[in-house]
């Protein structure tokens, strides 16, 4: 047998070097190289591969179209993110920070599957069966079809799965499970890849969906599920702030559907509950008639979301170097918008600290929120509230012009549905909207931020 060779593998990017180094030459991260043993490829590998690749090329026109059969889980929001249900034989990776609720989500999904009469195997390498049952009882898991297994050996897990023949397999988490084929520690890059690879093969061979849970740290991806993204069919990201109760589930990659969908859940004492009306959820604690508070309409996934932008302007203690802080917004974009307010609207805030916040712990990446941000800052500066029934959206350019944005009709519809009376929006979007005719809400098109400020404040 060939002698195993040692290599040093970067746990951040997966690069390999023959020698230990303090810093990864590929990604520049410090202290990420870990020694791992690479075994000589085992004899079975070639024949195992053969089962997946067609033996010879086939003309495109001769390939039969197969509709990937999907199964829907009880939670409609979860189906939506997957593109309309989970595809049989697919491998889904669910990444998120520790404690965000990945195990809870997957246990709920398993519960729903089992409730539909399917057999589900939930494997945990992190918690004891009693712990999982305790959680399951809270979530109302009952059904006969749900099987739990506390095990970390990959080969033993797959052997049990072959015996039980479940209709869905959950592995919690990819970092705690290890394969006997490799001698490196669980959680190292080569181990998580091997685990993902074998579970992938299991799913394809048996035509059942498999879910892998992966921990991601705040900084990104130590020993990361990132390195698995290309191997799996679907990558879902479960995000949220620990101190907020809402969680956002979205697809980063989906071989069977769009990646734009996202679902919002609330973590409650009985598990994750889908929030059917996120706009109302995020606006429910909005202070009315408060300077600095302006509602904007942003698009999250394919749905519009009304969200409150707040700003606080106060005289600075740091003369010459006032603070510009923003939470939930892009810092560079915010700095640019502040410059526009200063230059084009003629406000001077050299002596003021400016704090901007997106309420509810949401992040906004879209330029369509620009107009809302500008109005919020000016409202804070002038200490004058915007009318409570007003929402605003539009991209702001460096000359202070308000540019049209996509999906304006959907944004207006959402604002109307939540009882808003007026929407301030780009002039350029107005023409398209007026054709639709919308008597239940007043639309005000503005060409520039100057015009918007004059109208609103």
* Per CB under 6 A, 267 contacts ligand TYD: yes
Beta-strand pair 16-17/5-10: antiparallel
Least spacing, CB of residue 104 vs ligand TYD, in Å: 3
101 touches ligand TYD (CB under 6 A): yes
Q: Is 103 in the site for Mg ion (CB under 5 A)?
A: yes
Dihedral angle at the C-alpha atoms of 5, 184, 194, 198, nearest 10 degrees?
A: 110
Alpha-carbon span 193 to 184, nearest angstrom:
12
Q: Which is nearer to Mg ion, 182 or 267 (CB)?
A: 267
100 makes contact with ligand TYD (CB under 6 A): yes
Distances from the Cα of 135 to the Cαs of 103, 107, 404, in angstroms?
9, 9, 48
Rounded Cα gap, residues 162 and 59, in angstroms: 35
Contacting residue, 11, 12, 32, 104, with ligand TYD by CB under 6 A: 104
3 state SS of 168: strand
Q: How far is the CB of 303 from ligand TYD (least distance, A)?
A: 24
Q: Which residue, among 321, 356, 365, has the nearest Cα to 338 in the 3D structure? A: 356
Q: What six digits make up the tokens of 418?
A: 């939540």
In the complex, residue closest to ligand TYD by CB: 103
Q: Which is nearer to ligand TYD, 135 or 156 (CB)?
A: 135
Retrieve residue 276's tokens.
């059917």
Which of the stretches 96-104, 180-188, 302-310, 402-410 binds Mg ion when contact is defined by CB under 5 A? 96-104
User: 96 contacts which partner out of ligand TYD, Mg ion, none, CB within 5 to 8 A by kind?
Assistant: ligand TYD
Select the binding partner of residue 99 from ligand TYD, Mg ion, none (C-beta < 5 to 8 A, by kind). ligand TYD
For the CB of residue 213, give the shortest distance to Mg ion in the complex, in Å.
Answer: 7
Could you give the maximum distance between any two Cα atoms of the chain, in Å? 80
Please name the residue ranges forming H helices in 345-444: 370-382, 408-417, 427-436
Span of 221-229, 265-273, 292-300, 373-381 interacting with ligand TYD by CB under 6 A: 265-273
Distance of CA 354 to the CA centre of its chain: 29
Q: Tell me, by CB under 6 A, how many residues bind ligand TYD.
A: 14
103: contact with ligand TYD by CB under 6 A = yes
Q: Token pair 């929030």 is at which residue? A: 275
Q: Which of residues 270-289 bind ligand TYD (CB under 6 A)?
A: 270-271
> Please, what is the Cα angle at 19 between 18 and 23, to 5 degrees?
115
Residue 41 binding result from Mg ion, ligand TYD, none, given CB thresholds of 5 to 8 Å by partner type: none
96 part of the interface to ligand TYD, by CB under 6 A: yes
Q: Which is nearer to ligand TYD, 267 or 356 (CB)?
A: 267
**Are 306 and 265 contacting, i.e. CB atoms less than 8 angstroms apart?**
no
Binding site for ligand TYD (CB under 6 A): 96, 98-104, 135, 138, 267, 269-271
Binding site for Mg ion (CB under 5 A): 103
């Amino acid at each position: 047998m060939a002698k195993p060779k040692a290599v040093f593998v970067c746990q951040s990017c997966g690069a390999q070097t023959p020698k230990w180094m303090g810093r990864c030459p590929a990604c520049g991260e410090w202290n990420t190289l870990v020694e791992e043993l690479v075994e000589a490829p085992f004899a079975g590998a070639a024949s195992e591969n053969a089962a997946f690749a067609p033996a010879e090329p086939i003309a495109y026109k001769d390939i039969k179209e197969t509709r990937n059969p999907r199964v829907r889980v009880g939670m409609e929001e979860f189906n939506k993110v997957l593109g309309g249900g989970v595809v049989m034989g697919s491998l889904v990776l669910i990444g998120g920070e520790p404690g965000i609720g990945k195990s809870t989500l997957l246990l709920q999904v398993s519960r729903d599957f089992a409730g539909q009469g399917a057999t589900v195997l939930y494997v945990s390498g992190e918690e004891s069966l009693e712990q999982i049952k305790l959680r399951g009882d809270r979530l109302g898991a009952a059904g006969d079809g749900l099987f739990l297994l506390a095990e970390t050996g990959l080969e033993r897990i797959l052997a049990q799965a072959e015996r039980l023949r479940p209709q869905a397999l959950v592995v919690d988490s990819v970092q705690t499970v290890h394969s006997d084929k490799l001698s490196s520690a669980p959680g190292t890059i080569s181990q998580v890849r091997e685990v993902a690879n074998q579970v992938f093969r299991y799913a394809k061979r048996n035509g059942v969906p498999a879910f892998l849970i992966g921990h991601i740290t705040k900084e990104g991806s130590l020993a990361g599920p990132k390195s698995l993204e290309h191997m799996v069919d679907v990558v879902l990201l479960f995000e949220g702030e620990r101190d907020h109760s809402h969680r956002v589930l979205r697809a980063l990659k989906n071989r069977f559907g769009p990646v734009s969908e996202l679902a919002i859940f609330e973590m409650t004492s009985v598990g994750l509950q889908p929030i059917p009306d996120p706009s109302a959820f995020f606006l429910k604690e909005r202070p009315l008639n408060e300077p600095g508070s302006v509602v904007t309409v942003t698009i999250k996934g394919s749905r519009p979301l009304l969200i409150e932008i707040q700003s606080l302007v106060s005289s600075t203690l740091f003369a010459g170097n006032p603070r510009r802080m923003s939470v939930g917004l892009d810092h560079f974009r915010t700095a640019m918008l502040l410059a526009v307010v200063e230059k084009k609207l003629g406000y001077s805030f050299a002596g003021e600290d400016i704090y901007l916040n997106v309420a509810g712990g949401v992040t906004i990446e879209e330029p369509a929120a620009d107009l809302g941000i500008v109005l919020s800052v000016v409202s804070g500066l002038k200490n004058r509230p915007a009318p409570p029934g007003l929402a605003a959206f539009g991209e702001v350019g460096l000359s202070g012009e308000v540019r049209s944005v996509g999906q304006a009709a959907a944004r207006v519809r959402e604002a109307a549905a939540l009882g808003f009376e007026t929407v301030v929006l780009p002039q350029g979007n107005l023409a398209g909207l007026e054709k639709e005719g919308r008597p239940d809400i007043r639309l005000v098109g503005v060409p520039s931020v100057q015009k918007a400020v004059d109208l609103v404040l």
